[in-house]
Chains A and B, each alone.
Chain A
């Protein structure tokens, strides 16, 4: 067994199932002692990848290296990997204590040692008082903790969590995210989190790998994915509310390039060379401000849109205003605080051009407005 927490390297992992390609050329490096998030929509291959890293499945081609040691053909126990499953996978016929003790019993440790370790982990996860209960008697959050305890108890170096928060209540989720963070820092294990919830990515923002359709689209920190998304899928996924997209044609006016959106024009000094004359402008809802009557003027390069309110949604302590500006879809605007705008009410909104994202017709990211304006 390794003494240090290993780095994980995936080289050219491919997998097919029933003829369909599940994973395509996955190359990934997970630094040691990190909390790594693999983010992606359902069916993107996250679970398949997680199972391969864990050792539950073998890839068709490619290798998995822990600290440069090839573990591709080793089973999960041999790799010293633990996993927490989406449905917790607790053994229903065993008490919480026996569930947690399960990996230790396999290792044939003495009873006293087992007892000591189980109690230690249970204490850490604050479930000592529920150890004599059966899984059917535990709440969702408690089951989660038992599952994590079971994963921790054998001292695994890598813990994989497959959509761990999906079955929990909203409030419990928040608690568990904080727990997980604390856990990773305290115990120092490598944690790989598979998730389809962008909020998870935003909570653990240092290492994120975005997956779609069996491929890794982009790897980076949250800031990188937020500011420099590789394509519109990444841009839409990362962010509390989905990004708005406005199609535009590039026309030449005077000696400047202008983006003609149909509801207004944006002038830019230059635009990188493109094969087509069309772009997609992305604007995040949080970057749009509603113009109040008599409010302060907006500084810098701004673009104004005007339209009628379609719906307002209140989420938590923020409001989303859906503004119908004459495009196929309304523009979503995120405002802090709770506002009530009546449907049909006419509003003006502005956003700073530095904040726009430019994508080509194939959805690939070109640059941000700010990159051009300087």
Chain B
């Protein structure tokens, strides 16, 4: 083997170690007893260095921990569902009527700006808004906020997908006598197929992972798994193993989506 190839593979292996290392450590931590988390020498191999214990996962399932995942699920799913159809309509407009008012490049650019808005700049007003409406720490507040923030991403993705549906198919459908809603239902959406699923998945993922708004708009009733994490550090004893366990559980949907929709991942950033 050439020297350059060997070095290259070694380099890749080092990078791989860099990536996998922390992941492995997290999984291992989730399997530990709280006393065995940080030891010297570090206990990194289950069954050899330590006995795996279900203490962390037990904790999650026996306390409110499990509910945080359900909360995340409800909030992310509802927001995605609400945002989907309006976003599809808007994306259709941007794609098929690029010169019409409100559908032109400038409007699309405005949508793009929303994606680049720093959450820290708007959390306060949004918090005050819901607070004044008496909706602090309620599901509607977080869900609606999420809906608003998922629209730009959903439109960004869907416009690219609608662009790829041939307009002459719709012409044929018009000639066959189908009106707009019919065309959308019977032709555009079926032809979007997996692209639509990918959009739903990627938007949902973005919301599932969200932290800042979940932290500030939720309180004691609405706690997503991301907002739950800091709660485990209150007090003297940080429950590291539970942190690890939540990390592992919280990572499952993202990994599934990453594998299933890998083809579409790059569109989140490039749009096509």
Contact = CB atoms under 8 A, between A and B. Distances in A.
A76 interface: yes
B219 interface: no
A111 interface: no
Most chain-B Cβ atoms within 10 A of its Cβ — which of A51, A76, A89? Answer: A89
Contact of B171 (A18, A83, A93, A151): A83
B13 interface: no
Interface in B77-128: 99
A107 B190 contact: no
A70 to B, nearest CB: 20
A76 B174 contact: yes
9 contacts: A18-B99, A54-B175, A56-B171, A56-B175, A77-B175, A91-B169, A93-B190, A106-B177, A106-B182
B83 to A, nearest CB: 25
A76 B175 contact: yes
A106 B174 contact: no
B187 interface: yes
B191 A81 contact: no
Top 4 nearest A-B pairs (CB, nearest first) are: A77-B177, A89-B172, A103-B176, A89-B168
A143 interface: no
A255 to B, nearest CB: 63
Contacts of A89: 166, 168-169, 171-172
A102 interface: yes
B169 to A, nearest CB: 5
B178 interface: yes
A225 B182 CA distance: 45
Interface of A: 18, 51, 54, 56, 75-77, 81-83, 85-87, 89-93, 102-103, 106-107, 150-151, 154
A103 B174 CA distance: 10
Interface residues of B, number: 17
Contacts of B99: 18
A90 B187 CA distance: 11
Which of B172, B187, B190 has the most chain A CB atoms inside 10 A of its CB? B172
Contacts of A92: 169, 191
Interface of B: 99, 166, 168-169, 171-178, 182, 187, 190-191, 193
A150 B171 CA distance: 13
A91 B178 contact: no
Given A85-B168, A103-B175, A151-B175, 5 more contacts: A76-B177, A83-B171, A83-B175, A102-B176, A106-B177
A85 B191 contact: no
B176 A56 contact: no
A83 B172 contact: yes
B161 to A, nearest CB: 15
A134 to B, nearest CB: 13
A106 B171 contact: no
A75 B178 CA distance: 10
Contacts of B166: 87, 89
Contacts of B168: 85-87, 89
Contact of A75 (B169, B174, B182, B193): B174
B200 to A, nearest CB: 19
B84 to A, nearest CB: 20
A77 B182 CA distance: 14
Nearest to A17: B99
Contacts of A81: 175
Contacts of B169: 89, 91-92
A322 B208 CA distance: 72
Contacts of A150: 172, 176
Contacts of A83: 171-172, 175
A75 B175 CA distance: 8
B171 A77 contact: no
A102 B174 CA distance: 11
Contacts of B187: 91
Candidate in A54, A90, A91 with the most chain B CB atoms within 10 angstroms:
A91
Nearest to B177: A77
B191 A106 contact: no
Contacts of A103: 175-177
A56 B174 contact: yes
Contacts of B174: 56, 75-77
Which has the most chain A C-beta neighbours within 10 Å: B166, B177, B190?
B177
A100 to B, nearest CB: 10
Contacts of A51: 171
A355 to B, nearest CB: 43
Contacts of B182: 106
A56 B183 CA distance: 14
A340 to B, nearest CB: 45
A107 to B, nearest CB: 7
Contacts of A107: 177
A75 B180 CA distance: 12
A54 B176 CA distance: 11
Nearest to A107: B177
A90 B176 CA distance: 12
Contacts of B176: 77, 102-103, 106, 150, 154
A85 B171 contact: yes
A51 B175 CA distance: 10
A288 B190 CA distance: 59
Contacts of A75: 174, 177
Contact of B172 (A18, A91, A93, A154): A91
A203 B54 CA distance: 82
From B166, B168, B187, name the one whose CB has the most chain A CB atoms within 10 angstroms: B168
Contacts of A56: 171, 174-175
